[in-house]
Amino acid sequence: MTHLGSQGTQYPTDYDPSVLETFENKHPGNDYFVKFNCPEFTSLCPITGQPDFATIYISY
């Protein structure tokens, strides 16, 4: 791990809500189940700085 140590990468902890797309719910009385799968999510390891790969599942 001495050769793979942190690269000093800064990770933001805030976000800009204006980048999210929104729209009116035409049927607010209905119950919904929303599922989003991202099978090719890539990121950088915060410890080593090396690429990491994952699948993200979001259901709400």
The C-alpha atoms of residue 10 and residue 27 are separated, in whole angstroms, by 42
Mean pLDDT of 29-52: 90
For the chain, give every domain's residue range: 32-60
Confidence class for position 37, pLDDT limits 50, 70, 90: very high
What pLDDT is attached to residue 42? Answer: 93
Q: Quote the pTM value.
A: 0.52
Quote the percentage of the chain above a pLDDT of 90.
47
User: Is 14 known to be catalytic?
Assistant: no
7-35 pLDDT per residue, tens:
666 777 888 888 889 899 999 999 999 99
φ and ψ at 20, to 5 degrees? -85, 130
Mean pLDDT of 1-9: 62
Q: Which one of the listed residues 14, 16, 38, 45 is annotated catalytic?
A: 45
User: Is 38 known to be catalytic?
Assistant: no
Task: Report whether 53 contacts 42 (CB < 8 A).
Answer: yes
Query: Could you tell me the sign of the dihedral formed by the alpha carbons of 33, 36, 57, 60, in that order?
Result: negative
